[in-house]
Structure 1
């Protein structure tokens, strides 16, 4: 892949990563709860899931899943159920006075890095639109006169990098919201708001089709 081709491809992948979706909402929520740095670290889990989906797509299995109503539905409803669970759990979360967490340097977040990575992984792996992205968009960016595997590798690596950037953008916006919340009531309302976003995301995902 030439540098000029990559330069034309990278902005498109950046726009795709910046689009609102379940994983970016997760980064925003994590940014509110534990700060941008920890939220971005959690994206390792998201990119691991995307790496698996990209490998599936590269091997040609993505086309099978996309063309199969059964497997598409299995992936879709797994994602719907998980997002709905996260939404209800967030809605019912206890109100926490954020002033108690102002000095978090050197302290371990309640859920831990691995738990947040696992959350990002499950949200990403359960989103059939990711398969559609990697099977419908990526092939259109390929130069068939050049070795395909290496092109797919660089596209995948670039996409994972843009996911870190997008997560940081969303997490930082969440962190700014966090600074405005200082009371148990405010935190309770915030949890309900974010819980509603996850439930809405699950509802939107339920409407996903293979078209």
Structure 2
């Protein structure tokens, strides 16, 4: 059984990390603003699924192998960098960018595409990989059964994922349905694009 003090520390640490603005938060906010809060939950589900994968990899020690391999780590990192730059440039130079006004209510948004967007954003983020590989060992007591501890921490991480990113989704959805001038949308899109590009550049500087 994990001590209550350890659980509280894990909760606070993970909460702060998940609430910190980043590519995933931008993606959730933009999706909620464009297509509503319900659709943004698919982005959140993709992010949470990627974090579960990181959790499993960390628990099985595979993350250690990835971090030890310069090639594997570089592949993951540069995929993430390329995807962030693509999203950023699309937001700046695209017709609508991440924030758009949906006028055709019959238009069906592909939930799988939205889920994939969130999953790729998170799974290709080396900072998330480093975070979980560094985090888990600090909260595991090897003198007690490890599997139950991992299950508890993983469930907590999933709950925090949905809680934190749902806040961003809620904020994004508040702008939906309100009249926003095209000039304002353009500024928001370019700002979001610049933030994504900045995140990509910062991600490129992450070392093992």
TM-score, L = length of structure 1: 0.86
Contact 1:97 1:183 in 2 (8 A): no
CA distance in 2, matches of 1:33, 1:10: 31
Find the counterpart in structure 2 of residue 100 from structure 1: 103
Find the counterpart in structure 2 of residue 91 from structure 1: 92
Contact 1:92 1:191 in 2 (8 A): no
C-alpha distance 29-99 of structure 1, shift in aligned 2 (>3 A): closer
SS in 1 for 2:103: helix
- C-alpha offsets along residues 160-187 of structure 1, whole Å, 9 cap, x if unaligned? 1111111111122223445665222222
Find the counterpart in structure 2 of residue 127 from structure 1: 125
Within 5 Å, which residues of 2 pair with 1:160-199?
160-178=158-176, 182-199=180-197
Contact 2:11 2:156 in 1 (8 A): yes
Residue 39 of structure 1: how far off its partner (Å): 1.0
Contact 2:31 2:39 in 1 (8 A): yes
CA distance in 1, matches of 2:202, 2:18: 18
Root-mean-square deviation over aligned CA pairs: 2.3
Find the counterpart in structure 2 of residue 54 from structure 1: 55
CA distance in 2, matches of 1:164, 1:177: 20
Residue 36 of structure 1: how far off its partner (Å): 2.4
Contact 1:98 1:183 in 2 (8 A): no
- C-alpha offsets along residues 87-121 of structure 1, whole Å, 9 cap, x if unaligned? 112223324873837xx6xx555x42211100001
Contact 2:44 2:115 in 1 (8 A): yes
Contact 2:44 2:166 in 1 (8 A): no
CA distance in 1, matches of 2:182, 2:87: 20
TM-score, L = length of structure 2: 0.87
Which 5+ residue runs of structure 2 have no aligned equivalent?
Answer: none
C-alpha distance 141-185 of structure 1, shift in aligned 2 (>3 A): same
Which 5+ residue runs of structure 1 have no aligned equivalent?
Answer: none
